[in-house]
Amino acid sequence: MSHGSISMYKYGCRCDGCREAKSDSMRDYAQQVKAKHGIGPASVSRRKFKETHGYWPQARYGYDIPHRVRRAVYERDGWVCQICGGLISRDYDPYDRLAPSLDHIVPQSSMLLPDHSEANLRMVHAVCNTIRGNGVFSDDEVRVRAARFVS
């Protein structure tokens, strides 16, 4: 097996080529599900849960940021990534790396009770948020790592 393939990722390789292959595979899967069902994989999964259990599952991590708060943060930040400074399109594919995402300035994992207020949220690219994770990398480090995706 060679690097840069999904099979190597499956066996634990996390080199750039294998991670890219996994990302491409997941993006293709999400597009196939959306084409078949008209909604993304997470929505399909949530609907199946509701059909089975009779109620909607809790949002991931037990919270869901209301649409009005999300929209207010996007407007406040002017549709600009607050980490890399790149513009974020208002017309986006939710599976795109450059789609808008909300980042917790003080990571949830560092608080006993996570703060989901507008003051602790900022607009970022999905890829910048993913790279930042729970605050392991500084914004400068994230900018360097995200440069190949955001350029």
Q: Are 120 and 104 in contact (CB under 8 A)?
A: yes
pLDDT band at 84, cuts 50/70/90?
very high
| Per-residue pLDDT, 113 | 80
3-class state of residue 124 by DSSP: strand
pLDDT band at 91, cuts 50/70/90?
confident
pLDDT in tens, 31-77: 998 899 888 887 778 778 778 877 666 555 545 788 889 899 999 99
Kindly report the CA angle at 93 between 89 and 95, in degrees rounded to 5? 125
Number of C-beta neighbours around residue 95 at 10 A = 16
Q: Does the pTM of the predicted model rise above 0.85?
A: no
Q: Are 142 and 101 in contact (CB under 8 A)?
A: no
